Structure 1
Amino acid sequence: MDTENCTNLYLQVCQTFLTCKYDDPTTFDDLYKLLPWLRQSLTCCVCANVIVDPMSSTQSHCQHFVCGKCKGGKMILRPQCSWCKDAEVFETNQHLVVLVMCFKKICQLIASSPIYEHILNYDQQRKKELAAMKSDSPAKSDTPSKRKRPQRKFARTYVTSSLLNIPVQQVLQDAMNLKDVDINTQPPTVECKT
């Protein structure tokens, strides 16, 4: 996802949070949806965690992000991106550095507000609903299928789906576990000797 979309999601989260009425839980509905989307938009394409020391490709076509430590690692994208195969084209993205810091701050504000209790209740209710849906689903047939598909360990669709289904409380926890970054420090420059 490009940084413009991430920024728009962040602004929507902020606007929704600031317009929530603490005595009316129905005003939190959009927040429950937007927080996992924002978390997913700031996900590393290698480790599937919130990006740390965000890097992005310098090629304009590619909009994938990775952590500084994950640079050069095998991406979980399916299908593979042909534009970001070369790890040498990834550089620190200052816009993303600031955006991740803002994500952490808004999550800290939400966690310290009265909305947090509603988030806990929402997550518990959602967990019960998902468990009820699983128990109501028909059992799979015991007969094996004629053709088995190979299991994919890290299919991007699975990662995206699982990230969007994580509890909102976990989104807040992921953000608060991020280390603080000094945005005034510049990334180290590498001098080439010829």
Structure 2
Amino acid sequence: MKIKAKLKKKNTNKWDDDYYTKLARKENYPARSVYKLKEIDKKFKIFKKGFFILDLGCSPGSWLKYASEKTGEKGFVAGVDLNTSKIINEKNIVVLKGDIFDSEIVENLCSMGLFDVVMSDMAPKTTGCRHTDCARSCALAEASLDISFKTLKKGGIFITKIFQGGDFDSFAQTILSFFEKRKIFKPESCRKNSREIYIIGMGKK
């Protein structure tokens, strides 16, 4: 019985020592997700010094931290999340605690002015049901896109995570209606069995 208990505990933490998790600890990022954004930035040249950036669902703060580093002291990074307790404070970062589906939160984001980049790495709580999980992921992506309509300047860039399946194709097509270019990209740092993929809208019309 003791052996089984130990094996179960070890399996529960199977991701704790993967390459990107170790690298995140070494480079002082809150989570391994930062390397997905780094890959996106390297491939599509997203960030510039002085950019204003909005991070939707920003906890635990890896994307915020990277965006802060890239935009520099003259730039500004805003984030919003239901849980802000673990986020590292930086001089050019402001974080709102709240729900992106809350109209008051959206109004507060709009009052900050227009952003050069709006990005979301949000994912739903998974149920194990592919249809349900894809639908919930698409709902988050659609909400993020809706916020980008209100907060992204002309020519700006939109990045969102979304699960493949369900309404993915329809959502991807929608991006072309509002942006000059659309890129679909799966970073190498995504887990091999993950359905997540990233859609990048470039050049808001």
TM-score normalised by the shorter chain: which range applies?
Answer: under 0.3
Determine which structure has the larger strand proportion and give its number.
2
**TM-score normalised according to structure 1 size:** 0.25
State the structure with bigger RCO (CA 8 A, min sep 6), 1 or 2: 1
Determine which structure has the larger helix proportion and give its number.
1
